[in-house]
Copies of this chain bind each other. A is one copy, B any other.
Amino acid sequence: MIIPEPLQLAIEEFSKFPGIGKKTAQRLALFLLRRHTDDVNRFIAAIEGLKENLHQCKTCYNITSSEYCEICSSPKRDHATLCVVEDASDIFAIERSNQFNGKYHVLGGVLSPLSGVGPESLKVKELLERLKSEDVHEVILALNPNTEGETTALYINKLLRGLPIKVTRIARGLPIGGDLEFSDEATIGRAVIGRVEYT
**A residues near B, CB below 8 A?**
2-7, 9-10, 12-13, 16-20, 24, 26-33, 37, 39-40, 42-44, 46-54, 63-65, 69-71, 87-89, 91-92, 95
Contact = CB atoms under 8 A, between A and B. Distances in A.
A72 to B, nearest CB: 11
Given A2-B70, A47-B44, A18 B10 contact: no
Given A4-B63, A6-B46, A10-B49, 6 more contacts: A2-B91, A16-B39, A18-B28, A26-B92, A32-B50, A43-B47
**List of 4 A-B pairs having minimum Cβ-Cβ separation, nearest first:** A6-B53, A13-B46, A6-B49, A10-B46
Contacts of A26: 89, 92
- Copies of this chain, tallied across the complex: 2
Contact of A54 (B7, B50, B65): B7
Contacts of A40: 47, 50-51
A16 to B, nearest CB: 8
A6 B88 CA distance: 14
A37 B50 contact: no
A8 to B, nearest CB: 9
A120 to B, nearest CB: 18
A28 B37 contact: no
Contact of A6 (B37, B54, B92): B54
B70 A6 contact: no
B44 A9 contact: no
Contacts of A10: 46-47, 49-50
